[in-house]
Amino acid sequence: MIFWLIFAPLQIFAAQNQNYQENDPNLEFVQVIWRHGDRTPGELLHPSDISKWPQGIGELTEQGIQQQFRLGKWLNSRYAKWIGDLEMNLEKIYIRSSDYNRTLMSAQANMAGFFPPKTGIAHNIQWRPIPIHTMPREQDKELYESIKCPVAEKELENQWKSPKALNILKEFNGELAIIRRNLGEMVGIRDIWRVFDNFWCEKCNRIAWPTWMNDTVFERLEMLYHRISMLEYETEVLRRLRGGTLLSEIMTRFQQKPPNNLKFYAYSAHDSTIAALLSTLGIKFETFPKYATCLMLEMHKSGNLSENSPILRVFHKNETDSERVFEIFVPGCGEIPCRIERVQSLMRKYFPENWKLECGIVETNETIYVATIFVLIFTTCLSTTLLLLDRLKLKFRRKKSKRASADAIPMLEEEEIDSDEEI
């Protein structure tokens, strides 16, 4: 199934792959987001299915490695001459990956195709390492699609219960009945991706389906999956909290201009990453991004000599191992192509000012700080109280001691008198 985009007139057209030459006078900076290559299922339908996937769960397959290598070669044909010799200067590129094996390996395979070395690292090994950067998932609000965000999670729950979602389920009720009957479980709206994912992975890797699953049922299941998945970024809240973080980072990098010699910045990520970015840009689509496809955002000098405002050109290579690429125009811009500052102005409403605060997350450090201050105050008060009590106790003892001394003097005098009388 072809990944179709839905646009108003003049918002998209097919374009040939532009092979930028060395010292291209217009191209200034490029940011690319690609989806990892073919992988094994993210979750199994049955524990026994693990025998089908010796690589493990959610791992890049050999086919996925090859897909990314070919995508790297395609990117090489487009940008390598413009970027120049990496062996002399690695500061020209920066590759960031989400913290998954499949995206990290995809980045490595992509770079192997993108930048084939002049000389290998050893005999018969024509490969040179390219740095790949990442961060822990719980900190990666740009690339980790399931990062904790209570407000976004609640918004998505509302989407699952919305009339639109219920109407979609009703439309595919026949297929859901077949799936539930044969899987022996109640497949809800949150389970649809898991069911589709397993059969999709089996199809891509030529693993035989059970007899009840056929092309007709799968085609409907695929349609259901894509229709439901569209709901994940349909509201303004979800776009701001799930897609706005990455778009904000990308646009900020464009506006600040690349530091030093940096020319090419890439993200090795997921279908959800590209889908969230497209949705936030206002670009509607019918199917989620496929394996080893990519979105390219290019900053060019303005063709108008009277203006010093760079322009944004967006290209989408939306089919695995296809040479076709589409240029996308940002809806609502009113300019073709759109100036960077104009895109920034249009998209600013999706840029969280304080993402954690908007997500309803209490900063851990702040919690620790408040708790520490409370403990310090409590300890200080307790210590002061004990010190005062100790002083009062000491003062009381001293008074008691003085009284005892005063009472003791007459007693001695009486004893002395008695002694005198006896003499």
Rounded to the nearest angstrom, the gap between the alpha carbon of residue 95 and the centroid of all alpha carbons in its chain is 15
In this structure, how many other beta carbons lie within 10 angstroms of the beta carbon of residue 234?
Answer: 17
Do 271 and 128 belong to one domain?
Answer: yes
Q: Is 188 helix (H, G, I), strand (E, B) or coil?
A: coil
Asked whether residue 102 is assigned to any structural domain, the reply reads yes
Decide which of 307, 333, 358 is a domain's last residue: 358
Q: Which of 24, 99, 191, 271 is catalytic?
A: 271
Which amino acid does the sequence have at 102?
R
The pLDDT assigned to 180 comes to 96
Do 377 and 275 belong to one domain?
Answer: no
Give me the domain span that covers residue 370. Answer: 362-423
Do 310 and 419 belong to one domain?
Answer: no
Query: What single DSSP character describes residue 239?
Result: I
| 36 included as an active-site residue | yes
Do 130 and 260 belong to one domain?
Answer: yes
Mean pLDDT on 48-66: 97
Do 258 and 407 belong to one domain?
Answer: no
Asked whether residue 152 is assigned to any structural domain, the reply reads no
Do 387 and 330 belong to one domain?
Answer: no
The pLDDT assigned to 21 comes to 76
Asked whether residue 194 is assigned to any structural domain, the reply reads no
> pTM of the predicted model, to two decimals?
0.82
Q: Is the pLDDT of residue 248 over 70?
A: yes
Decide which of 307, 339, 358 is a domain's last residue: 358
Q: Which of 24, 36, 38, 49 is catalytic?
A: 36
Decide which of 342, 358, 374 is a domain's last residue: 358
> Of 83-97, 294-308, 384-398, which range is least confident?
384-398
Do 354 and 366 belong to one domain?
Answer: no
Do 54 and 104 belong to one domain?
Answer: yes
pLDDT tens track for 298-334: 999 987 655 678 999 999 999 999 999 999 999 999 8
Asked whether residue 231 is assigned to any structural domain, the reply reads no
The pLDDT assigned to 6 comes to 40
Model confidence at 119, pLDDT cuts 50, 70, 90, reads confident
- Per DSSP (E only), the strands in 111-252 are 132-133
The pLDDT assigned to 118 comes to 79
Asked whether residue 280 is assigned to any structural domain, the reply reads yes
Compare 412 and 114 and report the one with higher pLDDT.
114
Q: Is the pLDDT of residue 397 over 60?
A: yes
User: Which residues, 6 or more positions from 304, have their beta carbon under 8 angstroms from its beta carbon?
Assistant: none
| 271 included as an active-site residue | yes
Asked whether residue 191 is assigned to any structural domain, the reply reads no
Mean pLDDT on 272-293: 92
Do 415 and 329 belong to one domain?
Answer: no
Do 272 and 143 belong to one domain?
Answer: yes
The pLDDT assigned to 390 comes to 66
Long-range contacts of 172-176 (CB under 8 A, 24+ apart): 172/220, 172/223, 172/224, 175/217, 175/220, 175/221, 175/224, 176/224
